[in-house]
Amino acid sequence: MENLGANFERMSIGSETRNDAVDVDTYFRQHADRLGNRFHYDPTVDLDIKKTFRRLMRTAGWNLPRNVRVLEEEKEKFFEAIAQEFTKKFGRGDQLSSWHRLLLLLGYGEQELPHSITKCKKELARFWINIYDFLRELRRLGLDLNGAALVNLSYLSKSSLQELREYSKSRKLLYPLDLARGTILTGFLVHMF
């Protein structure tokens, strides 16, 4: 297990990120700048991005009936920021190293890593992890782009698909499948309805 750090260092992801999208921190900071002292954002404190989005929604007044269109636009920007966050950390998903990075975080050793993206996806499908929980833990543990802190996040996995569905629906921790297409997020998504 001592070689995992070197494996993370070899994984180049910078060339896989989209230039036009912003990550979660940038998304919230942009709104904090616009709203002044009404909305504060501290990425070291505001680890639960869904709660932070809900707080932003209330502060900006997007939850009011007259702002339905604005709320829908902001939700889409927020979902795009989540996709960009994953892309920054793991790549788009078109390289085997991206999938290996995810599996390493779920407790796989270098010798256990599959040799194809398809097999990596099958391995990832054994876990029932909510995207928001996964991102919260990455942020809480301070995992940077180089994967400096190595952990096993498999404890985030629910015991079944049904448990994940119930958990995600009851807490409104859903992510739209159509926005995840073409990104590594598809490895986490399941049909919720």
Residue 145, pLDDT > 60, answer no
Residue 111, pLDDT > 50, answer yes
The predicted pLDDT at position 150 comes to: 67
Residue 6, pLDDT > 80, answer no
How far is residue 49's CA from residue 126's CA, in Å, rounded to a whole number?
25
Is residue 113 included in any domain, yes or no? yes
Residue 26, pLDDT > 80, answer yes
The predicted pLDDT at position 58 comes to: 94
Closest listed residue to residue 104, CA positions, set 164, 147, 156: 147
Residue 142, pLDDT > 90, answer no
Is residue 54 included in any domain, yes or no? yes
Work out the average pLDDT over 20-31.
87
pLDDT > 70: what percent of the chain?
83
Is residue 176 included in any domain, yes or no? yes
Residue 102, pLDDT > 80, answer yes
How far is residue 155's CA from residue 60's CA, in Å, rounded to a whole number?
35
Domain encompassing residue 85: 4-187
- Side chain identity at residue 182, one-letter code: G
Residue 44, pLDDT > 80, answer yes
Work out the average pLDDT over 148-166.
85
Is residue 193 included in any domain, yes or no? no
Overall domain count for the chain: 1
Is residue 16 included in any domain, yes or no? yes
Average pLDDT, the chain: 83
Residue entry with tokens 């007259």: 66
Is residue 192 included in any domain, yes or no? no
Min mean pLDDT across 109-113, 126-130, 177-181 is at 177-181
Could you tell me the pTM of the whole model?
0.82
Residue 12, pLDDT > 50, answer no
The predicted pLDDT at position 146 comes to: 54
Residue 135, pLDDT > 70, answer yes
pLDDT in tens, 45-76: 899 999 999 999 999 999 999 999 999 999 99
Work out the average pLDDT over 98-121.
92
